[in-house]
Structure 1
């Protein structure tokens, strides 16, 4: 990586919230010892929240860009380096459902599509897409 580097990461407050939720579910698991169904549900919730928090600890930066290309998180905590020449399109896919709107940053290489949410990036997807486009072209 050379020159300026842009990075987007998971917000720390969301990491803390996931950790606290995992602890709350762990306590609920311990308190429901006499209830097998409650123990299974609370135990499953504990494992899921702990895994989500662990992913945020292992791979907090979900997207970075420099003059050579992008580095995008892939899988649980891995990453993939994409030269700018491989990136065919950067866009935001916005969906409306009931009263809410969600957007996903879509990085398309032709063979793979990487989707990142506002929670992954710590910033609005449209803002990140605009920054990536201007960084790529230099304007």
Structure 2
């Protein structure tokens, strides 16, 4: 079993598995916000509130609902273990990339709104299917702090250590 940002013992004394997920508190906050926006929209509809307010409440509720569903389903978002790297999307299934398919792991530092933001970038080569074009099968996986619930620099160090 893989735990959120924690270690679980690997089989036969191998390196432990680690996983990272969106922070549970943010996911709960998104669910509460979606419910609140839905209640606000209901009040505006019943009281015949202004159309702009109803539109704003509906869009806000929809965005928060999509974020809450994605944050709930994407747990764990990234997991590493002796067999490779497993990535789970919010609206798709999990996909495991064996270590032989992981070509590069790096941290990208960018300046946004006056501050430096770190993201984890992982290059993988998907060699599935007979006769697959090797150039068309390259993928770049990008994870931010919200995806991982941890500092991408620390996660990169753990991924690189597990890859060896």
* TM-score where L is the length of structure 1: 0.89
How big is the shift at 1:96? 0.7
How big is the shift at 1:75? 5.6
User: After TM superposition, which residue ranges in structure 1, 4 or more long, deviate above 6 angstroms?
Assistant: none
Larger mean Cα displacement after TM superposition, 21-30 or 61-70: 21-30
User: Of 123, 135, 139, which aligns to 2:150?
Assistant: 123
Q: Which has the larger radius of gyration?
A: 2
The residue that corresponds to 2:115 in the other structure is: 100
Larger mean Cα displacement after TM superposition, 55-64 or 71-80: 71-80
How big is the shift at 1:74? 3.3
> 1:45/1:17 Cα in 2 relative to 1: closer, same or farther (>3 Å)?
same
Whether 1:89 aligns to 2:104 is: yes
- The question of whether the paired residues in 1 share the 8 Å contact of 2:121 and 2:140 is answered with yes
Q: Unaligned stretches of 5+ in structure 1?
A: none
How many residues align? The count is: 137
> 1:18/1:75 Cα in 2 relative to 1: closer, same or farther (>3 Å)?
closer
1:42-61 Cα offsets, whole Å, 9 max, x none, are 11211121121112222220
Larger mean Cα displacement after TM superposition, 53-62 or 30-39: 30-39
RMSD over aligned Cα atoms: 1.7
The residue that corresponds to 1:136 in the other structure is: 163
Q: Unaligned stretches of 5+ in structure 2?
A: 1-9, 126-137
Structure with bigger RCO (C-alpha 8 Å, 6+ apart): 1
* TM-score where L is the length of structure 2: 0.76
